[in-house]
Structure 1
Amino acid sequence: MIGQLNRFVVFCPVSNENPNIVQNPSFISVKFRSFCSTRLTQQPQISLTESNHSPNSVLATRVSRLARTEGQDVLFDYLHNTRSLTFPDAEHISKNSPHFVENLLSKINTNKDVTRSLTRYLRYNPINEFEPFLESLGLSPSELSSLLPQHLMFLSDDHVMFENFHVLCGYGIPRSKIGRMYKEEREIFGYDYGVLALKLQAYEKLGLSVDSKFVKVLEKLKELGFKNDWIGGYISGKVSYNWNRIFDSMDFLDKVGYNDEQLRSLFETNPALAFEGSGRKVYVLFGRLLKLGFKMNEVYSIFMQNPQILSGKCANNLLQAVGFLVEIGMRMEDITKTVSAHVELLGLCPLKAPKTVCSELKVERDGLCQIIKDDPLKLFHLASKTKVKINQRVVQQDPSTHLEKTAFLLRLGYVENSEEMTKALKKFRGRGDQLQERFDCLVEAGLDCNVVRHIIKHAPMVLNQSKDVIEKKIEYLKNFLGYPIESLVTFPTYLCYDIERINHRFTMYAWLRERGAAKPTLTLSTILASSDARFIKYFVDIHPEGPAMWESLKKSTSS
């Protein structure tokens, strides 16, 4: 099996036995190969080329990050729910067309409720879907004008093009390369239904050679359930990969006891384990931990709960820390205890050499060993090259806390072991029972349970506050400000502002309203989300006595 990922990236040049097929342009363009092909060296390494296009373009800095994020969400919702594009298509387009999103935001007032304004704009102003689509494929805005089809606005209007686009995606061609293919070899996208897939299959059957270890890596990842898009997303065009070493790393994990489910979880939470350093750190890091006396299930637990330590920098720091403890003569069982309790900090902190620390403290190595044994946190205070605020770091993780938090997120609608779940575990702060308590707080205030789920998934920081704070802000919203609880649906980040800002701004607004200088029903976001300078311009300086009132409010709080 050759596998579907990057079929055109790993083939060797065609032999002379089949020259007529490649030379025949009606089969498939020779240029088609050149888009993704790369030269194989004599060693089992393959360099893959990718586009450098990034959705975080510096051109998209004229609007706030929050406004851009809301703009992307609205565009996704429009493409997925209104225009019926698939979830992956809508998500990729919305997150990888920064210039188009910026142009959309220029049509509305971004200082007001962006989500509501932009949703309303799109309701009455359908977009040319080819613009964000082509930009998301790696094309720059300057290239689009000559590529936009005439008299077409919707992707569904060109079924053939969209079908061939999905055929290329299905073969593992990165979306960021498809834009160049669209620009230079448009005929590829004009093949009738099924024709392109047949041509690609025939191309594969020409007898081209391919690196066998690369094939085995792909087969193993596919056996674990990974799709082409996932694999292609983590292969960099700027790196050469030693497929022998990567395959041997996977085989090593297999032999030491990892089952398929555990392997999938490890690679899913941190693809660097397979691809970064071509798997070398698997041998070094796992071997060192096993040598210290850790059992396989303990190593598995450490890496699942702290996937970030598999990154190059953290892995090096952890290995250096273990070496430090060995060098000062600490016993293996004590090293194991220190690593178990403080693995996150060990990954974060580069350490000085033991000789340097001993010299600074004027102690021998056995004396330094005893100091750290008595209080392991002294290792970070005395030996770290960088200042670390221990009280702001998690120095030990309780596995039950992790499970409770995961259980809460599953109830919230996140998919187990997904990339989205991994990100959510980092965004939500607190134990599972605390998060549930805060969630229930919003439901008890009068919001539907499904509405609260929607709010939390779009604004997770809402639950990063204590129950008491959330209750206080809800009470203030309803009883003092006079806004209905439903106001949180369109502006949940109200709950994230400190009570002093809320009090100052709404007291000022109420004062203006009493004097007829402000509209009676302004939205929460209009009053809270604007910058200080903008608020003063439109809510303070608008009245002759406004500045004096504003200063009085601030002084009353400080006193």
Structure 2
Amino acid sequence: MRLFPSSTGDFLMLLSSRFYSSTTSAASAASTLNLKNLPYRNRPRALAEAKLAITDYLHATSALPFALADHIASNSPVSLRSFVSQIPFDDASPSDFRRILRHFLAYHPVNEFDFFFESIGLHPSHPSFPSGISPFLSDDARLLAAVSSLLRFGFPCTLLGNLYLDSPSIFSSPPGHLLHLLRRFEGLGLPRLCVIAICLTFPCTLHASDHDVEAELLCRDLKILFLDYGLAGYAGDDVHAFLRFCRRIRVFYDFGLGKGGMGELLGCNRRVFLEFDEFILAQRLNFLQNLGMCKEEVGLFTLNNPEILDLDLDNADIVMPDYLIRAGLGKEEADSVTKKYSYVMGKNKVKNLPAIMKALNLNKWFFTKIVHEKNLHFLSLSHSHTDSFNTKLESEFLQNLERIKLVKRQRFIDPKAEFFLSIGLGKNKSTSKAIWVVSANKEQLQERFDCLIGLGIEHSMLCRMIATAPKLLNQSRDMLLEKTKYLCHDLGYPIEYLNTFPAFLFFNLENRIKPRYKILNWLRDSGLMKKPFAPATVVATSEKKFIFTLSIIHPEAPKLWLEFFSSQKGDNGDADMVRFSNSCSCSLEEMMRSRSLNLQKE
């Protein structure tokens, strides 16, 4: 049974320029491989001869059609250059290159999968490649059969790699199964290029059985949009245009749009798929989800209210608390919010409204106002500027930002400012202070913020903590996890305690927090300490004051601390502390013996 088109001409039609583009990224990667085994002037000749040798090798060894073998060799520059770098050319003449290459291939078989996967658009060292398999393509008949079916139908060669990454099991399908599915979808009336784009965008369609209703409903929806509402006319004969449209449509299905019965709604919003790329669509739908809408409702809500897509979320500004009053919050309540959440006041972007409302603990009120009461006009540019714009507040913020840039690396300042604004803080003195004391970059700050949110800290509470003690974001994610675990599991305090004492996260866990609690726990277990101390009392005090606290519990406790528990163990050079511990009058053993006798008398 032949797995590929019988004639070279047929296969070349499948590889026409209409369906694939050159892999420039692979070529760029190939240029970084040095061919130290060849003089510079001979490298182009060696690579050209190697391409011919690999083509003949694949054609003879794996019995691939010559056109396919040539395509693989011509579109795998990284693998080809790597192969050439292994050849012992020594001082051979360029006229001998062909003989040397064929002799090398006779005794050193290449990994044909490296060449093959690179030719369909993947880097040869991609971690998704199967390991421990035979180096010969002919040993994976199902892979070749699947690729043959897809190419025969018209799939672009260089896009098959993306399909493999999304769903590698498709390439293990039984022979003929893929063509059967593809012709079934084409039988619904969809153009072939449209079917290809649908399958590349929704790989689940190539897993469908004959009785899979969902895949058929999806195709029926898209048939209405592409044919009845004429979206296909804007794609012409360009499979990449169909692919762009399908990716934009997928955004809505990813946000809960139900398959089947949505063709009319999609068609009525044809403009959405013509004017907005998938990034903008995803950004707008994420905005609604972040406001508080269930993900399953976002897609349908947006198509029923497409004006949300025309909002300029990135450039429109709002000013707190003026915006809250315009949105319907009472004057007295707005004044109360201003006093309580001063670090949120000032200028910010409309796109940060979900985070701003969470920081103010007004997210439920705002969601009801915008979504349930259909006041989407409050998100428009006309409602973002106010007459009472506090220029002084923003001016101070910008001046502080410029001072920071003079001292610290300028390229990190604006991204950090963007992060703090994105979590709900406004352009004010608290935010500029946070930018000054925090040393991490934007990605690290986001990771640490998400980590603390994931631990159960409310958004509003966390923003207050950051405004009060921004240095907590200087802790790495792993350290934040360790310290909060110790606070909650070992000390038994709720995570909300950090709202009272966020500085707990500043102190060294191994050298300060744990040693101090070790001696306190020992004194408690020994019956010497009846009243527990809160972390703010234990951790935030100086070493000298902590030793004084121990002396109140028992005069011998400071000596015990310096000898056995303190991470410094007397190496801190503080003569006052050493003299203080030496002044303890009785030994701990005597005290314990005395306590035991007293208990016996009782």
How does the TM-score come out when normalised to structure 2?
0.31
Ranked by relative contact order (alpha carbons within 8 Å, sequence separation 6 or more), the top structure is: 1
Bigger CA radius of gyration: 2
How does the TM-score come out when normalised to structure 1?
0.33
